Amino acid sequence: MKQLDEAFDRLLGHPRTEEQLRIYGWSSIPAGTDNYASYTEFLPEELRSTDGFGVCWAASRFSAAALFTSPAVADDHIAAMRRGESRNLNVDTDVEGGLDVWPTWGPWERAIPDKPSWTKDNEGIIAERDGVVVYETHYTSPFVEDASPRPIVTWHCQICHASGKGEEYVYQTAGERHTIGYEAGRHLVKGHKFTASAVTIPEAVAEFVTRKTGRYMDPAVLMQCKVCPNVEALRALQ
């Protein structure tokens, strides 16, 4: 028997508070589940149980973990969540190991309970430092006819106006936050690159943002970059 805490420590660092760690749900996959073998064939040997297993889907701000336990433990947590009970993380359970990603392939896609969001309704800022903002928002591809807005996670630098290619990271699992967080961090480490962007944003947007956020936004800055006002609007949601 191991503490769930130990597994969190190993896979997610030392997140403890609700602000640092979120449990998105539990899955129970008993032996005899349809296509049972296809759940386990991707797993490392030590996680390949023939007796069924449960999974706790957990994530911190820039990491994700699938923690494995028995179906009985998972069923217990699923029932507790349905009753609206929240449980202390420091619960004694028989977690056997974990993956430091959320598997999304094959039958796993259906096993993940919900698409995760770090912000309310996938709209808002996840983290920022020295002008680099990592955020969630919705993106409509200009290249797809009748495309509906899809949740993405991406980053933007408000100093040099460099951006992550957020449209390529349609938000399916907490693992995408890890990728984007890594890219944003690399931008900070490598230093800002200054390039002139197209002038597309009217001064009216700057006035709107200033009014909405209560913080003065220099129109000259907005004129350089079409993403910055989006970031300011997301900031106003916090």
Residues engaged in binding Zn ion (CB under 5 A) = 157, 159-162, 192, 225, 227-228
Task: Tally Cβ neighbours within 10 Å of residue 77.
Answer: 22
Q: Which residues 6+ apart lie within 8 Å of 166 measured at CB? A: 137, 139, 152, 153, 154, 155, 180
- Least distance to Zn ion from the beta carbon of 119, Å? 19
Of residues 12 and 225, the one with the C-beta less far from Zn ion: 225
Of residues 162 and 180, the one with the C-beta less far from Zn ion: 162
Of residues 10 and 235, the one with the C-beta less far from Zn ion: 235
Closest among 135, 193, 190 to 160, alpha carbons compared = 193
Of residues 2 and 226, the one with the C-beta less far from Zn ion: 226
- Least distance to Zn ion from the beta carbon of 153, Å? 17
- Least distance to Zn ion from the beta carbon of 132, Å? 6
Closest among 166, 228, 173 to 197, alpha carbons compared = 228
- Least distance to Zn ion from the beta carbon of 193, Å? 7
Of residues 87 and 193, the one with the C-beta less far from Zn ion: 193
- Least distance to Zn ion from the beta carbon of 128, Å? 12
Query: CA 189, CA 199: separation in Å to the nearest integer?
Result: 28
> Dihedral of the CA atoms 117, 118, 121, 127 (nearest 10)?
-140
Q: CA 57 from chain center: how many Å?
A: 12
Cα-Cα end-to-end distance for the chain: 41
